[in-house]
Amino acid sequence: MFGYYLDLALRSLKRNKALTVVMVLALALGIGACMTTLTVYYVLSGDPIPSKSGQLFYPRIEPRSMNGFLPGDEPELQMTRFDAETLLRQKRADRQAVMSAGGVVIDLENSAAKPFSEQARYASADFFPMFDVPFRHGNPWTAEEDESRAQVAVISKALNDRLFAGGNSVGKTLRLNQASFRVIGVLEAWQPNPRFYDLTNQRFGEGEQVFLPFSTSRALDFGSSGSMNCWGNTNSEDEGPTGPNAPCAWLQYWVELDGPAKVAEYRRYLQNYSEEQREAGRFERPTNVRLHSVMEWLDDQAAVPPDVRLQAWLAFGFLAVCLLNTIGLLLAKFLRRAPDIGVRRALGASRRDIFAQCLIEAGVVGMLGGLLGIGLAWLGLWAVRQQPTDYAGLAHLDPAMLLTSFALALGASLLAGLLPAWRACQITPAIQLKSQ
């Protein structure tokens, strides 16, 4: 019977082409707008490291002075160098890593090419195994190389392609900020979005191209980038705001904890550490610690821009308006066919048959609207990619969202067809035959 109803639906749609075009276009506009904003939201709100997001945590403590303190304040977003290096030495987590962003000027030895600048990441050795960073060639540096402040570097696949034509560059020498570094590893393509491990810098888009030991970056006094919050004197004795004892929070610190028991234990450890620092006179504010998982940290920092959320809600509202228009058009179309439906009922068709026939016709409208809506969504995403935002390049319609588009179009059209189909199947055949 499905094939028969489908044939009837196609004939009905061809019979009134103008009305069909209006219904398909209304639904396509709603689907296109909805899928454009939904795709952007889907890309930005996804889990950037699904294999380990439940094991990675971002600790926060409160090292600031009482100046400006208000009860209920959130603790400092980042860590001071003193606290980060102390927690790193004490090694109370399964893995732990301190890190910061920076910029380096890259120059190949014995090369006529002009030096150029790239983003860098200064991190301790556990950074790579903690975040499952894939390697194409070589390996990350070790904890021993961290301690010895070794001048070694890991570079991205993109930088390796640019400098060494994609070959195995392990053992080659780079000059970074006039200092010589030996390449010990080359990454596979790795670009978590959002860049959850450091939300103080660019959150989306291309990641860092060079990775250096944090201890080496401090020994060579490489500059850092990102936000910094200072609340005391940063004199030359402390080597400026990035010195080991400077009252400035500018470092990101992550830990890996396997299981709820270890999470609870580490939270207690942070509380005890804060109390110790208060007794020593370093911390002035009441003990206030946080331990965010990856997704909790993204929510806390509103990684998805508020305007993207608003656009998604507005697009769903626009889709609802389009559905209301489609419901009205389908209702008018089916009721105009009341005499035909009355004849079919008189010849033995049940209400269920009429309901199914009308619903299939609505489904065909939905499929046509979905196909056109996907085209409009592609156009909308192309427009998003032209915007000067750091997440614009991520706006692509992947297979999952394609399937979602079809499902949304079909579901929306069937939903729109429920009321008109129900009204159509309530038509009394006797009245229609009498009126003929």
- Domains in the chain: how many in total? 2
The tokens for 210 are 């060079």
292 and 311, same domain (yes or no): no
397 and 295, same domain (yes or no): no
In angstroms, the CA 254 to CA 266 distance is: 12
287 and 423, same domain (yes or no): no
Q: Which tens digit of pLDDT belongs to each residue from 164-203?
A: 888 999 999 999 998 999 999 999 988 888 889 998 887 7
In angstroms, the CA 272 to CA 215 distance is: 26
3-state secondary structure of 182: strand
Q: What percent of the chain has pLDDT over 70?
A: 88
170 and 242, same domain (yes or no): yes
322 and 204, same domain (yes or no): no
Q: Which tens digit of pLDDT belongs to each residue from 296-355?
A: 999 888 877 777 778 788 888 888 888 888 878 877 777 676 666 666 666 666 777 777
Domain containing 376 equals 2-47+305-435
Q: How far is CA 123 from CA 130, 343, 379, in A?
A: 12, 78, 40
Output the pLDDT for position 349.
66
269 and 296, same domain (yes or no): yes
Q: Give the other-Cβ count within 10 Å of 313's Cβ.
A: 11
36 and 153, same domain (yes or no): no
Output the pLDDT for position 4.
67
Q: Which residue has the higher pLDDT, 397 or 131?
A: 131
Predicted model pTM: 0.77
**Residues 6 or more apart from 169 whose CB is under 8 A from it?**
137, 155, 160, 163, 183, 186
Q: Which tens digit of pLDDT belongs to each residue from 235-257?
A: 655 567 888 889 999 999 999 99
Burial 337-350 (b: 16+ CB within 10 A, else e): bbeebbebbeeebe
The tokens for 135 are 């390697």
Give the end of a domain, one of 272, 300, 328. 300
Output the pLDDT for position 355.
78
251 and 106, same domain (yes or no): yes
72 and 21, same domain (yes or no): no
242 and 192, same domain (yes or no): yes
